[in-house]
Amino acid sequence: MKVLVTGGSGLVGLSIQQVVEEERTGCEGEDWIFLSSKDANLTSLKETQDVFQKHQPTHVIHLAAMVGGLFKNLNRNLDFWRNNIHINDNVLQAAHEVGVVKVVSCLSTCIFPDKTTYPINETMIHNGPPHESNFGYAYAKRMLDVQNRLYFQQHGHCYTAVIPTNVFGPHDNFSIEEGHVLPGLIHKTYIAKKERKPLVVWGSGTPKRQFIYSLDLARLFLWVLREYPEVEPIILSVGEEDEVSIKEAAEAVVEALDFEGKVVYDTHKSDGQLKKTACNAKLRNYRPDFYFTPFKQALKETCDWFVTNYDTARK
């Protein structure tokens, strides 16, 4: 098995790299290659085909994407659509051309319809428009699911996808303006503590999210690559009971970083989608015993990583 990981230098890619290194004995007979955008700009079909020709993978984990939090999405919806549509089309076609037998791509629970019933499950992806805040990203990701079904229909390939909830962990993008909520809050709290200023949480704090630790997600990715047999996607999420409000998430960051200052909410900033509660019954059916790292433990590990690696962290 020769596994090519696109987006191998990002949050999820580096977590998979870490788990592969930790599980070396479980990976016998597997050759792993982790790509970054320096190896190939995957928005270019030629560069994508060249890198696939060079490595001749049998399996692909496709993570590369234009990624960002709510506020980056609000500002650049068109760019999210165009970059991700090109990357996904190029990667799946290049994989097909070199005879890749399995591709596992990455969707996100934000791509589900905004007006829906809860909890969301895998059958509901195409049932109505996504939340307008990430219209471009969500539609581009939905098309990956369409493409997977068509590669199966026309060529019999097992090109499938996972659907994680909000991911966080070491090596995240800690940019305050462009990153996701947890890395953003960790960075802001770190600065507020240093400068003895209040922590400003954006929005009302009432929206809810399910967070998955990148190392847990990495372990699940390896299982999907090796064993999950379906073309239909699978939600990778903690349970509905582990959903937390942004206020609870901010309080957990405050505790993990031992911040004693004031916390204020800037309600002029967008709340984004109020919730996207996902059902992990399908995952639990396959993996009843899978252990998710408790949220506060994972958050503490992430905060410690950020403090230790402050000078070199992406921000």
Phi, psi of 140 (to 5 degrees): -60, -45
Verify binding: residue 92, ligand NAP, rule CB under 6 A.
no
Shortest Å distance, C-beta 184 to ligand GFB: 3
Q: Binding string to ligand GFB for residues 168 to 207, with x set by CB under 6 A, is what?
A: ------------xx--xx--x------------xxx---x
- Asked if residue 180 binds ligand NAP (CB under 6 A), the reply is yes
C-alpha span between 137 and 140 (Å, rounded) = 5
Please name the residue that has the structure tokens 């929005």. Answer: 203
The answer to whether 190 is a known catalytic residue is no
Interface residue with ligand NAP among 173, 175, 273, 302 (CB under 6 A) is 173
In the list 73, 166, 237, 302, the residue contacting ligand NAP (rule: CB under 6 A) is 166
φ, ψ (nearest 5 deg) of residue 5: -110, 110
Least distance in Å: CB of 47 to ligand NAP? 8
Q: d(Cα 232, Cα 247) in Å, to the nearest integer? A: 34
- How many other β-carbons are positioned within 10 Å of the β-carbon of residue 49? 16
| Closest of 166, 139, 136 to residue 242, by C-alpha | 166
Q: How many residues does the chain have?
A: 315
Establish if 278 lies at the interface with ligand NAP (CB under 6 A).
no
Asked if residues 266 and 201 have their Cβ atoms less than 8 Å apart, the reply is yes
Which one of residues 3, 60, 65, 299 is an interface residue with ligand NAP (CB under 6 A)? 65
Q: Could you say which of 7, 8, 57, 69 contacts ligand GFB (CB under 6 A)?
A: 69
110: region left, alpha or beta (phi > 0 left; psi from -120 to 50 alpha): alpha
| Residue 102 or 315 with smaller CB distance to ligand GFB | 315
Smallest gap from Cβ 194 to ligand NAP, in A, equals: 25
Examine residue 135 and tell whether it contacts ligand GFB (CB under 6 A): no
- The one catalytic residue in 137, 190, 213, 228 is 137
What is the number of other CB atoms lying within 10 angstroms of the CB of residue 229? 10
Closest CA to 207 of 181, 169, 187: 181
Catalytic residue numbers?
137
Interface with ligand NAP (CB under 6 A): 7-13, 36-38, 41-43, 63-67, 87, 106, 108, 164, 166-167, 173, 180
